[in-house]
Every structure is written in structure tokens, then in C-alpha cells.
């Protein structure tokens, strides 16, 4: 088992990563927090795969439990599900000393975390990520929230978990495309912060035995960035590499292109443009595309620069008249590059394959 401790200005919490943590979760949670009543939150797929077994174990360990199960998928990450979840917490008389247990991917973690930030003005919550993306990214760092009609993640709160338990055994049942979303984020961490991790990923998919270490490394990188900039005022933006254009791709495709796949394309576009402007070392693009292809991740945009520029200009990372895009001067390093709003389209044009 691996452990990373995250220390933000307001909170300190452990991230435990290892095979079989689900079975041990009752003991672990009671060591940390005693036996609060736990509200298990899971989507229907994850509940069926792991939720029922987890409930049984937790009951055996003496925990009182209630469960909230919602239909899987991004479409559930909305205010209606959030309201239903809060109502369910109230009906089950959860108090300020009880806790929410978010078992699932990023959708579950974001939704449950937001409820934990708001119900009774805040109660504790534990993340149990079951997707690779949630393990390396969304379960750590404290960004929570839901989508509204106007856009993704537009309503939310910063709410750090009290503990993260990542049972790597649960990742075995992931469909390949969902797994690939997480792989894209791992490659992103390599690109922005860790050449060694990138080189390891570029060797190709024999990473099963190394998964625990890879997740640990990604969590360490994310923890370091979050510790330096908990509320996303500056340095945290490097985590956004590939994301401004990635979000645009998700939006235009009506979310048919999933997050990690969109980020893969976004990283390629921004790197090709940066390389053509001399902002990035010569061979960076070739290395990046070679690596992404090893995991069957896409590297080409089905959309034009004009189509991509529009939603990118509405990105919530926009400040005034400039957009801060993240570029990698070389693999393992990242910095912001400001592009004027009216020059974004031509920047993206440079990023498209001719
Ligand atoms: N808070 C953050 O910092 C942050 C960071 C990145 C992404 N996100 C958010 O995360 C969400 C995407 O997360 P996701 O990709 O995990 O999506 P998800 O939670 O929808 O999970 C994807 C699918 O995999 C299924 N699944 C989950 N675990 C499984 C398992 N072990 N075996 C088989 N199937 C399983 C789910 O039922 C779902 O159908 C987006 O809403 C995004 O905005 C948040
Ligand atoms: Zn992401």
C-alpha cells in the first residue's frame, strides 16, 4: 500500500492506494474517524459492482449506513441529483459528525463532495475512487460541483476530502475507454511535471504491476500543485494543460468525446501550436503523439479552429481579454502562455494538422 499526505492551508488528509482496500475500509475508517454514520453515494453501475459488498463489510464493522444510488453518467451530475442527495441525507438524519462516502468515478466524487460542502454547511467526506481518472485526478484537490445548462462544473465549491481510499483492484473492471481517460491524465502529469513518468508511459501499456506507483506519483504531483495554490489563483493552472481546448471539444461534441480523450487532443493541439511558435522543444509533439497512440488515445481534432475557439473563449479560466493556455517548454515542465482572445483562433489553427 502507498500513502500520500496532502496538506493544504485548511486541511491535511491521507490518500491510501493499494489492492484490497475496499475489504479493509471499515477498519481503516474507524481508525481515522471512529464509527460515524456513513452515507454511501454511488452510481448504479458501481453500486452493483462494489457498493453492496462494501455496505455488508461496513455493517459487519459496526457502521450505521444509508445509501444514495443514482443513474451512472455525466448527465446525472446536476442540481436535481444534488438536491435529491441532500434530501436523502436529511431524511436519514445525518448530523454534522457523520460522513459521506463517495464510491465511484469523478461524477460521484464531484457530486458527493459538493453535497458534503453544502449539507449542514459542510460535513466530512471520504473519496473512494473507482476510475483511473478519479484515482489520479478528481478524488484529490477538493474541487467539487455539478453542471448547469450554461456549462460544465459552473456551480460548485472547494471541499477537501477527509480521506481518500483507492482500491486498485476495482480498476480491473473498467471498460477500456474509461480506463483510457485516466491514462490521458497520467500522460498529462508526465508532460507538465515528470519526464521519467512520461518516458515510462511512452514505453507502452505493460503498466499493470506499476499501477499503484503510477497513481501515487500522479497524486504526489497533484498534491504539490494544490498545496501551492489551493484556490486556483495561479500555479494550479498547469493542471489545465490540454484542458481549455479539451473542454471545447467535449462541449462541441455534446460530450460524445469523453474528458480524457478530449484532453489528449487538446494537449496535441496546444503542443503543435507552441512548437511552431518556438515555445516548446522541437521533438515534444512527436513524443506526445507517439505516447498517446500507444494507448489508442486520439491525436486529431474533428473540428476546425473557428469551431474550437468559440467555446474556448467562454472557458471559465478566461480572465478578461486574454486566455492563459498551458504549454510545456520541454517534457516535464509547464508554464502559462497568454493568448489574446482575438488571436486564439489563429493559435488553434497552428495546432491543427495540415
Ligand atoms: N474534481 C476534479 O478535480 C475533477 C478532475 C477531473 C475530472 N472531474 C470530473 O470527473 C468526471 C469524469 O469522471 P469519470 O471519468 O471517473 O466518470 P464517471 O464517474 O462517470 O465514471 C465513468 C463510468 O465508469 C463507470 N465505472 C466507475 N468505476 C467503475 C469500475 N471500477 N468498473 C467499471 N465501471 C466503472 C461509471 O459507472 C461510469 O459509467 C467529470 O464530471 C469531470 O468534470 C473532476
Ligand atoms: Zn482532466
Cell of 162: 477527509
Phi-psi region of 153 (alpha: psi -120 to 50; beta: other; left: phi over 0): left
pTM score = 0.94
Q: What pLDDT does 306 receive?
A: 96
Q: Mean of the per-residue pLDDT values for the chain?
A: 94
Q: Is the CB of 168 under 6 A from ligand 1?
A: no
Sorted by where each begins, the domain ranges of the chain are 2-173, 180-351
Over residues 193-211, the mean pLDDT reads 89
Instruction: Give residue 313's pLDDT band: very low, low, confident or very high (50, 70, 90).
Output: confident
Asked if pLDDT for residue 206 goes beyond 80, the answer is no
Over residues 285-307, the mean pLDDT reads 97
Q: What pLDDT does 255 receive?
A: 87
Q: Is the CB of 165 under 6 A from ligand 1?
A: no
Kindly report, residue by residue over 59-115, the tens digit of the pLDDT.
999 999 999 999 999 999 999 999 999 999 999 999 999 999 999 999 999 999 999
Nearest 5°: CA angle at 147, between 142 and 148? 140
Ligand 1 test: best mutation among 102, 109, 116, 178, most atoms within 8 Å of CB? Answer: 178
Asked if pLDDT for residue 119 goes beyond 70, the answer is yes
What is the end-to-end Cα distance of the chain in Å, rounded? 47
Q: What pLDDT does 109 receive?
A: 98
Determine whether domain 2-173 maps to CATH 3.40.50.300.
no
Atom number of ligand 1 nearest to Cα 107: 19
Q: Is the CB of 173 under 6 A from ligand 1?
A: yes
Q: What pLDDT does 259 receive?
A: 92
Smallest Cα–Cα separation from 144: which of 65, 216, 85?
85
Ligand 1 test: best mutation among 46, 166, 173, most atoms within 8 Å of CB? Answer: 46
Q: What pLDDT does 6 receive?
A: 96
Instruction: Give residue 316's pLDDT band: very low, low, confident or very high (50, 70, 90).
Output: low
Kindly report, residue by residue over 243-295, the tens digit of the pLDDT.
999 999 998 998 899 999 999 999 999 999 999 999 999 999 999 999 999 99
Rounded CA-CA distance 254/291 in Å is 27
Asked if pLDDT for residue 317 goes beyond 70, the answer is no
Asked if pLDDT for residue 315 goes beyond 80, the answer is no
Residues 123, 116: contact at Cβ < 8 Å?
yes
Among 157-166, 319-328, 341-350, the minimum mean pLDDT is found in 319-328
Q: How, if at all, do strands 124-129 and 38-43 pair?
A: unpaired
Q: Is the CB of 49 under 6 A from ligand 1?
A: yes
Of the chain, the percentage scoring pLDDT greater than 90 comes to 87
CA separation, residue 207 to residues 147, 211, 293 (Å): 33, 6, 15
Cell of 301: 481534432
Q: What pLDDT does 65 receive?
A: 97
Over residues 294-303, the mean pLDDT reads 96
Ligand 1 test: best mutation among 49, 51, 74, 133, most atoms within 8 Å of CB? Answer: 133
Q: What is the CATH number of domain 180-351?
A: 1.20.1090.10
Amino acid at each position: 500500500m502507498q500513502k500520500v499526505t496532502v496538506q493544504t492551508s485548511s486541511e491535511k488528509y491521507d490518500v491510501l492506494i493499494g489492492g484490497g482496500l475496499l475489504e479493509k475500509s471499515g477498519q481503516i475508517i474507524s481508525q481515522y474517524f471512529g464509527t460515524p454514520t456513513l452515507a454511501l453515494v454511488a452510481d448504479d453501475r458501481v453500486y452493483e459492482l462494489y457498493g453492496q459488498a462494501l455496505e455488508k463489510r461496513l455493517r459487519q464493522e459496526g457502521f450505521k449506513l444509508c445509501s444514495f444510488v443514482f443513474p451512472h453518467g455525466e448527465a446525472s451530475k446536476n442540481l436535481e441529483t444534488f438536491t435529491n442527495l441532500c434530501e436523502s441525507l436529511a431524511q436519514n438524519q445525518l448530523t454534522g459528525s457523520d460522513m459521506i462516502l463517495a464510491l465511484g468515478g469523478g461524477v460521484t466524487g464531484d457530486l458527493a463532495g459538493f453535497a458534503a460542502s453544502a449539507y449542514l454547511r459542510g460535513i466530512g467526506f471520504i473519496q473512494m475512487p473507482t476510475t483511473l481518472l478519479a484515482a489520479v485526478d478528481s478524488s484529490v484537490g477538493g474541487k467539487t460541483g455539478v453542471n448547469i445548462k450554461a456549462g460544465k462544473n459552473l456551480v460548485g465549491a472547494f471541499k477537501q476530502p477527509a480521506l481518500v481510499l483507492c482500491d486498485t483492484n476495482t480498476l480491473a473492471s473498467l471498460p477500456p475507454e474509461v480506463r483510457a481517460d485516466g491514462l490521458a491524465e497520467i500522460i498529462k502529469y508526465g508532460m507538465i511535471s515528470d519526464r521519467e513518468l512520461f518516458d515510462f508511459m511512452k514505453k507502452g501499456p505493460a503498466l499493470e504491476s506499476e499501477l499503484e506507483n503510477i497513481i501515487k506519483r500522479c497524486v504526489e504531483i497533484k498534491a504539490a500543485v494544490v498545496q501551492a495554490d489551493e484556490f486556483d489563483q495561479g500555479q494550479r493552472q498547469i493542471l489545465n494543460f490540454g484542458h481549455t481546448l479539451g473542454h471545447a471539444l467535449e462541449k462541441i461534441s455534446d460530450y460524445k468525446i469523453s474528458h480524457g480523450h478530449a484532453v489528449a487532443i487538446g494537449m496535441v493541439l496546444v503542443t503543435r501550436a507552441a512548437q511552431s511558435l518556438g515555445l516548446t522543444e522541437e521533438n515534444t509533439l512527436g513524443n506526445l503523439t507517439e505516447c498517446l497512440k500507444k494507448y489508442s488515445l486520439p491525436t486529431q481534432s474533428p473540428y476546425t479552429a473557428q469551431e474550437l475557439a468559440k467555446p474556448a473563449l467562454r472557458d471559465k479560466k478566461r480572465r478578461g481579454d486574454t486566455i492563459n493556455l498551458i504549454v510545456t517548454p520541454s517534457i516535464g515542465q509547464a508554464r502559462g502562455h497568454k493568448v489574446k482572445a482575438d488571436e486564439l483562433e489563429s493559435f488553434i489553427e497552428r495546432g491543427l494538422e495540415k
